[in-house]
Structure 1
Amino acid sequence: MLTAAFAGPLVVCAALIPFRDGFANANAALLLVLVIVAVAAAGLRSAGIVAALSSAVWFDLLLAPPYYRLTIDRRDDLEMTVLLLLIGAVVTQIAIWGRRQQARASRQKGYLDGVLTTSGAVASGSSTAELIDQVGAQLIVVLRIDGCRFVPGEFRCRGPLLNHDGSVTRGSHELKVERDGLPTNAEIELPVQHAGRTRGRFLLTAATRVTRPDLEQRLVAVALADQVGAALSTPAEQQQPSG
Structure 2
Amino acid sequence: MDPDNPRRILPRLVALIVPIVVAGFAGEVPVVQPATVGVVLVGLIVFVGLIVLAAVAGDRAAGWFATLGAVVGHDYFLAAPRHSLMLEAIADVEFDVAILLVGVAVTEIVQWGRRARSLSSRRGTYLRDLAGVHAGESPGDLQRRIGGILARLLDADDVFFLDVAPDPEDAAITPEDRLRVGDHEWDAVDGLPTDRYVAAVVHKGERTVGHFRISSATHISRPTREQLSVAALLAQQLVTRADDAVQP
TM-score norm. by structure 1 comes to 0.86
Question: 1:48–1:92: 8 Å Cα contact kept in structure 2?
Answer: yes
2:156 corresponds to: 145
Q: Secondary structure at the match of 1:12?
A: helix
How far 1:155 moved relative to its partner?
4.1
Question: 2:156–2:216: 8 Å Cα contact kept in structure 1?
Answer: yes
Pair 29,155 (structure 1): closer, same or farther in 2 beyond 3 Å: closer
1:20 corresponds to: 32
Q: Secondary structure at the match of 1:41?
A: helix
Separation in 1 of the partners of 2:40 and 2:241? 69
My pick for the range that moved more, 158-167 or 99-108, is 158-167
Pair 221,200 (structure 1): closer, same or farther in 2 beyond 3 Å: same
Match of 1:95 among 110, 126, 132: 110
1:184 aligns with 2:198: no
Q: Secondary structure at the match of 2:84?
A: coil
2:7 corresponds to: none
Pair 85,174 (structure 1): closer, same or farther in 2 beyond 3 Å: same
Deviations 1:77-110 (A, max 9, x none): 1210222122222222222222122111111111
Separation in 2 of the partners of 1:35 and 1:55? 9
1:223 corresponds to: 233
Pair 229,73 (structure 1): closer, same or farther in 2 beyond 3 Å: same
Separation in 2 of the partners of 1:162 and 1:73? 62
Aligned ranges for residues 90-239 of structure 1 at < 5 Å? 90-118=105-133, 121-122=134-135, 125-152=136-163, 154-158=164-168, 159-177=170-188, 179-232=189-242
How far 1:235 moved relative to its partner?
6.8
The amino acid of 1:10's aligned partner reads I
The percentage of aligned residue pairs carrying the same residue is 31
The amino acid of 2:93's aligned partner reads L
2:74 corresponds to: 59
Q: Secondary structure at the match of 2:57?
A: coil
The amino acid of 1:162's aligned partner reads I
Instruction: Let me know the Cα RMSD of the aligned residues.
Output: 2.2
The amino acid of 2:140's aligned partner reads A
Deviations 1:41-82 (A, max 9, x none): 235122111111111111111111111111121111121022
My pick for the range that moved more, 38-47 or 142-151, is 38-47
Deviations 1:200-234 (A, max 9, x none): 21101121222222222112111111111234459
Question: 2:12–2:58: 8 Å Cα contact kept in structure 1?
Answer: no
| Count of residues in Structure 1 that have an aligned counterpart in Structure 2 | 232
Match of 1:7 among 17, 42, 46: 17
